[in-house]
Amino acid sequence: MNLSNKFSRLFGRFANYEFFPPFQKFINATYVKIFKIDLSEFAPASSYPSLNALFTRSLVAKRPVNANPIVLISPCDSLITQLGKSSDKNALQIKGMEYSIEELLGQKLDRELYYINFYLSPKDYHRYHAPCDLEIYEVRYFGGELLPVNLPSLRKNQSLFVRNERVVVVAKTPNNKWVYFVAVGALNVGSMVMHFEPKIKTNAGFHNTNYVYPTPISIKKGQELGMFQMGSTIVLFMEQMIADVNMNDQVKFAQDIGTYA
């Protein structure tokens, strides 16, 4: 286990620890102030018993989701750092920095894919949701490093998403087109959670595991898939996609971002 993984595991222990309430309230308030977190849709900072509970906060009220089945919604609150169509099975982590999609997903591809990178900063809502109705056929865990995924790190580290720990959700849309939903680990991410597969254990060493579902798991658009226990990145790959967003756009979970048919 390298230094970034060890540090992330230690940070995870600190974030999960429930301090004496007055001190915990101070920690939470300090975190909110430093990162300028907007809690208008969430419970007050003082109500969370640990820093991790604040990181993984739930929305108090549900956000409305577009009922049109072909409309894609943003899976998370995030910054769009890159989007486009792959070339020679390569995608961009940032302008001028390519990586192999086949390496990232752990499989050979017979076609190019459309993709969007969503960066979740420490101030963002850390839960992620289905961008459309999904039938999940497989989930893959790849052990790896936990390097930062912020813009300076993306510019510095070649094939960063491939080097980092990640969880790949393999699914299909209602019109039978493949979707790959990739949750990429990062420094200080204590763990990544997938609600539909509790056996996934992240930041547990450099090993790979996968779970195949003979009967696919059905997930509705907007349904919560899981959460990061700190900010990180989601990469969405699709066979079909017409994006209605641009690079450097700030998006919110449930916001319309395009169509897939």
> What amino acid positions are annotated as catalytic residues?
77, 129, 232
| Beta-sheet strand order (sheet of 71-73) | 71-73, 256-259, 242-243
DSSP 42: S
Please write down the HEC assignment for all residues of 128-191.
EECCCCEEEEEEEEECCECCCCCHHHHHHCCCHHHHECEEEEEEECCCCCEEEEEEECCCCCCC
Q: What angle do CA 75, 79, 80 make, to 5 degrees?
A: 80
Kind plus residue range of the DSSP H or E element containing 27: helix 21-35
> DSSP per residue over 211-222, as a string?
EEEEEEEEE-TT
Residues shown for the chain: 261
In angstroms and rounded to an integer, the radius of gyration of the C-alpha atoms of the chain is 18
